[in-house]
């Protein structure tokens, strides 16, 4: 749709009514362009196509990967996308990520909770809707500025500027981008998963991430105590999510299947198996079992048959069954292959450290069966990136026979090593991790979950220390406001960001010359015009 075509359509509509006096076609066109997504389903359809195109681009060239950043509030997501457009000129390849961890920690009505699916299941779709509300307002704000500039160009007779602005309006790029939304383990059975997935999609999510832990005892992927479910249970939930997409007309919706098997040593169920070698049998084959004689069966023992021999799976007092130690990677690979063969589009393997070799090794095994398998990856603040990469460099140097006598591996986190050759090389590996991982480890999409949680805490700490200390108001002026002005942050005009100018535009549409507008001579926003 173009600016002129929208004006023409509105003019035809208004003219046909005969009694809509005072309704200006150009104002209608502006409002329509400022709100081009009428529902969450419109957003999901639009963003799903973007994500599918990006996946195809990555398949053709691993350098064309995408990235996301976790946002725990609509304002945070809005400012992130405004910043991206300011610095890079385009939103292409930049997504939003919405983790269950952030909802549990920051958005639950119960208050901060651990990542155990204890938060209200409706809080996740509510945050999806909130994020897109803020992104749509970012569109309205930016386009409103273009419209006001267009009016000024017309008033001054600057036809060149007028045409430039019309071209900018016609080719406007929205702040609305894909959201990858975490449905945890589905918050119940497959039916519960389906119902919640519908809420996600109706709120605008084009991509849903689901994990193979049990719903009632789900744990954060970077903590212990994780319990997985048999493949058939997990596949039922993947199908439930797909049915939700298809019911709502999002035919190209994306499903991310996450496995926590690498760090999960427990299962709640022994899988049903019909014959040797089927998926249930393979799952059970990872169980830690002891052979047992038929005459030595104890009270309440649970037994399975393996290669013609009776085996007793190790069962804990918690009624959980234990997997054999060292089987995590094999279980991850099997989980991933099975998920892709049964409707998933992307994979997620939760690792204990950011190590390209480890990740790439598993993806290579998966690609032996599924050549175009793609992994998303959690570039998580749960990792100590500095320590992990310094250890990796140290170990690589040792293996290469390089002298490491100047370094103590037990204290590599020390600031003493920041400017050393080892510290510099580790930082360079961190800097190129995304690019290297996309090329070497099959990582299409980097799910960066929680940095905005930490940046909010850090910036608040810095302000509180100064403002309530000797710096007083200078702490805010020097550390925040002056930087906002000089670095061109739109949010320095916070009334404008909150919608004051949009409101003034609407007042003029509704009341004409009688409109009482906030944007007059004495508006303090004028102090930030320079």
Distance CA 346, CA 278 (A): 23
Report which of 506, 511, 470, 476 is spatially closest to residue 494, judged by C-alpha positions: 476
Distance CA 244, CA 428 (A): 43
Catalytic-role residue among 206, 220, 289, 336: 220
Distance CA 212, CA 231 (A): 8
Distance CA 169, CA 147 (A): 8
Token pair, residue 17, equals 């009514």
Report which of 175, 154, 172, 177 is spatially closest to residue 6, judged by C-alpha positions: 172
Is 220 noted as a catalytic residue in this protein? yes
Could you tell me how far CA 249 lies from the centroid of its own chain? 22
Starting at the edge strand found earlier in the chain, the sheet holding 266-267 runs 227-228, 266-267, 321-322
Distance CA 222, CA 434 (A): 20
Going by their DSSP bridges, the two strands 66-70 and 443-448 should be labelled as parallel
Which burial class, exposed, middle or buried, applies to 298 when counting CB atoms under 10 A from its CB (0-12, 13-18, 19+)? exposed
Give residue for tokens 């209608």: 28
Q: Backbone dihedral region of 37: left (phi > 0), alpha (psi from -120 to 50 degrees) or beta?
A: beta
Q: How many helices (H) and strands (E) does the chain have?
A: 20, 14
Q: DSSP H helical segments within 35-122, as ranges?
A: 40-60, 74-88, 100-106
Q: Catalytic residues, which ones?
A: 220
């Amino acid at each position: 749709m173009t600016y002129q075509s929208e004006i023409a359509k509105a003019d035809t509509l208004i003219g046909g009514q005969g009694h809509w006096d005072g309704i200006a076609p150009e104002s209608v066109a502006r409002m329509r362009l400022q709100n081009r997504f009428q529902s969450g389903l419109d957003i999901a359809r639009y963003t799903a196509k973007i994500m599918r195109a990006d996946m195809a681009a990555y398949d053709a060239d691993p350098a064309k990967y995408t990235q996301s950043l976790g946002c725990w509030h609509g304002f945070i997501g809005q400012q992130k996308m405004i910043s991206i457009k300011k610095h890079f000129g385009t939103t292409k390849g930049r997504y939003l990520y919405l983790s269950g961890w952030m909802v549990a920690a920051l958005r639950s009505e119960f208050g901060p909770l651990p990542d155990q699916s204890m938060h209200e299941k409706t809080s996740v779709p509510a945050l999806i809707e909130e994020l897109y509300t803020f992104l749509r307002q970012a569109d309205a704000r930016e386009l409103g500025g273009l419209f006001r500039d267009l009016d000024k160009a017309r008033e001054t007779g600057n036809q060149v500027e007028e045409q430039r602005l019309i071209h900018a309006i016609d080719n406007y790029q929205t702040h609305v981008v894909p959201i990858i939304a975490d449905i945890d383990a589905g918050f119940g059975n497959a039916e519960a998963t389906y119902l919640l997935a519908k809420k996600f999609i109706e709120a605008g999510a084009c991509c849903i991430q689901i994990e193979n832990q049990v719903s009632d005892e789900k744990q954060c992927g970077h903590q212990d105590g994780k319990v997985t479910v048999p493949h058939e249970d997990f596949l039922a939930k993947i199908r439930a999510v797909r049915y939700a997409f298809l019911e709502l007309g999002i035919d190209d919706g994306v499903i991310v299947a996450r496995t926590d098997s690498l760090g999960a040593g427990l299962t709640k169920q022994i899988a049903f198996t019909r014959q040797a070698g089927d998926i249930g049998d393979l799952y059970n084959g990872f169980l830690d079992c002891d052979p047992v004689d038929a005459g030595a069966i104890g009270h309440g023992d649970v037994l399975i048959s393996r290669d013609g021999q009776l085996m007793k799976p190790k069962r804990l007092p918690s009624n959980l069954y234990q997997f054999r130690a060292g089987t995590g990677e094999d279980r991850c690979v099997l989980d991933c292959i099975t998920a892709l063969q049964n409707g998933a589009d992307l994979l997620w393997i939760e690792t204990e450290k950011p190590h390209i070799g480890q990740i790439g090794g598993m993806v290579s095994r998966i690609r032996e069966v599924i050549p175009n398998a793609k992994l998303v990856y959690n570039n998580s603040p749960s990792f100590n990136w500095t320590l992990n990469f310094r250890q990796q460099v140290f170990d690589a140097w040792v293996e290469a026979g390089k002298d490491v006598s100047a370094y103590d591996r037990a204290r590599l986190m020390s600031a003493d090593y920041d400017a050393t050759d080892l510290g510099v090389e580790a930082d360079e590996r961190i800097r190129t991790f995304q690019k290297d991982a996309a090329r070497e480890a099959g990582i299409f999409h980097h799910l960066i979950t929680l940095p905005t949680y930490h940046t909010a805490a850090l910036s608040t700490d810095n302000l509180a220390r100064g403002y309530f200390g000797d710096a007083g108001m200078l702490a805010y002026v020097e550390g925040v406001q002056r930087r906002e002005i000089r670095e061109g942050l739109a949010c320095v005009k916070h009334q404008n960001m909150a919608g004051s100018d949009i409101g003034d535009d609407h007042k003029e549409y509704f009341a004409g010359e009688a409109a009482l507008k906030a944007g007059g001579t004495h508006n303090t926003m004028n102090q930030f015009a320079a």
